[in-house]
Structure 1
Amino acid sequence: MSVRYDWYQSDTKVVITVLLKNATEKNYAVNIEAEKIHMTADGYELVLQLLHPIVVDRSSHKAFPSKVEITLGKETGVRWETLEQKKEVAPPSTRPVKNWDRLVSEEEKNDEKEAKGEAALNQLFKKIYNSSTPEVQKAMNKSFSESGGTVLSTNWNEVGKEKVDVKPPEGTEFREWDK
């Protein structure tokens, strides 16, 4: 079972309070070393790798009805940021990390090389649309849909005022589908 504990410090000592009811009845034992504390009781174990070394001769422990108090004499008056050394966590596996931004830009470059003619133009419009502000996107949507695909504007100030007229390419005539 895990053991709950807390700690505090002064200039000369560190005090660890281990919450354990009836510790003497549970055959508790504390082993204090210069850089490690090991406490056991029936079904309980606590191992702490201390951040800084301590003086074992100035250290002690005492059992109370609801806790065990471990007092450690500091070797130096240094303020401890934490009680324990940071545990080194090995990565689960050493696989290379993918740079997704580079992968996406390489993919876009490949797409641009492969696209020709109308596909290249559509790809360009897609790229402009995706990298635009919401206002520019709104202008592009409105101008394209109202003009039947003959106008594509990025200027919302112009497009937002009124309906966008159909402007067919030179030499062609626009006709309504149902007429």
Structure 2
Amino acid sequence: MSVRHDWYQSESKVVITVLLKNATEKNYAVKIGPKQIHMTADGYELTLSLLHPIVVERSSHKAFPSKVEITLAKETGERWQSLEQKPILVAPTIQTKNWDRLLNEEEKAEEKDAKGEEALNQLFKKIYSSSSPEVQKAMNKSFSESGGTVLSTNWSEVSKEKVTVKPPEGTEFREWEK
């Protein structure tokens, strides 16, 4: 369990106040290093990585009834922007992408799709051009009335009524909004 703490500074020192009642009864211990403070007590722990180095020999700590006060001697009179240095986040190793290769793969996939679409269009053209006028009428009527969702070659079925829209499963058909 960690403890709450606060800090303030002067030109020559930094004072850290650790809010811990009866610290001496809780067997508190403070280790002061040039760039790190570590405090423990029964069930409590606080570790601080300091923003700037301090002079360990001139630093001290003292327990009061409601807190522990740690006084750190600054190595230089520099004003600290914060008590602790920001943790350095190490990014996971990122595999670099070969964008040119990915682009080429995407272009090849698009080419393949275009070739497949062109082949399908050629097939429909061949069916249409080699069909009887009755089959051509069925194809035209079914395709146009269904909004491109139905293509029938059966004129006797298509001629009876308007061809309804039949979108692919999992999709819905919407009228074009003007």
Asked whether the two chains share a fold, i.e. TM above 0.5, the reply is: yes
Q: Secondary structure at the match of 2:72?
A: strand
- CA–CA distance in structure 1, aligned partners of residues 64 and 98 of structure 2: 56
Aligned residue for 1:45? 45
Question: C-alpha root-mean-square deviation of aligned residues, in Å?
Answer: 3.5
Show CA shifts across 1:60-90 (max 9, x none): 2222222111111111111222222333444
**Closer, same or farther: CA 22–106 of 1 in aligned 2, 3 Å:** farther
Pairwise mapping of residues 122-133 of structure 1 onto structure 2 (< 5 A)?
A: none
Specify the alignment match of 2:11 in structure 1: 11
Unmatched segments (≥5 aa) in structure 2: 121-143, 149-157, 163-178
- Equivalence for 1:94: 93
The residue number in structure 2 matching 1:74 is: 74
Q: Deviations over 1:155-177 (max 9, x none)?
A: xxxxxxxxxxxxxxxxxxxx987
TM-score, normalization by structure 1: 0.56
Q: Report the counterpart of residue 35 of structure 1 in structure 2.
A: 35
Aligned runs of 1:132-147 on 2, under 5 Å? none
**1:23 Cα shift?**
0.5
1:131-161 CA distance string (max 9 Å, x none):
xxxxxxxxxxxxxx99956xxxxxxxxxxxx
CA–CA distance in structure 2, aligned partners of residues 11 and 146 of structure 1: 85
**Whole-angstrom distance in 1 between the partners of 2:10 and 2:50:** 16
How far is 1:98 from its partner? 5.2
Normalising by structure 2, what TM-score? 0.56
Q: Cα–Cα, structure 1 residues 20 and 102, in superposed 2: closer, same or farther, change >3 Å? A: farther
CA shift digits 1:26-62 (9 cap, x unpaired): 1212222222222121222222222211122332222
Instruction: Look up the match of 1:21.
Output: 21
- Name stretches of at least 5 consecutive residues in structure 1 with no aligned partner: 123-144, 150-174
Indicate the SS of the match to 1:115: helix
Shift of 1:12: 1.7
Q: Tell me the SS of whatever aligns to 1:113.
A: helix
SS of residue in 1 equivalent to 2:161: coil
Residue number in structure 1 paired with 2:161: 178
Q: Once the two structures are aligned, what percentage of the paired residues are identical?
A: 67
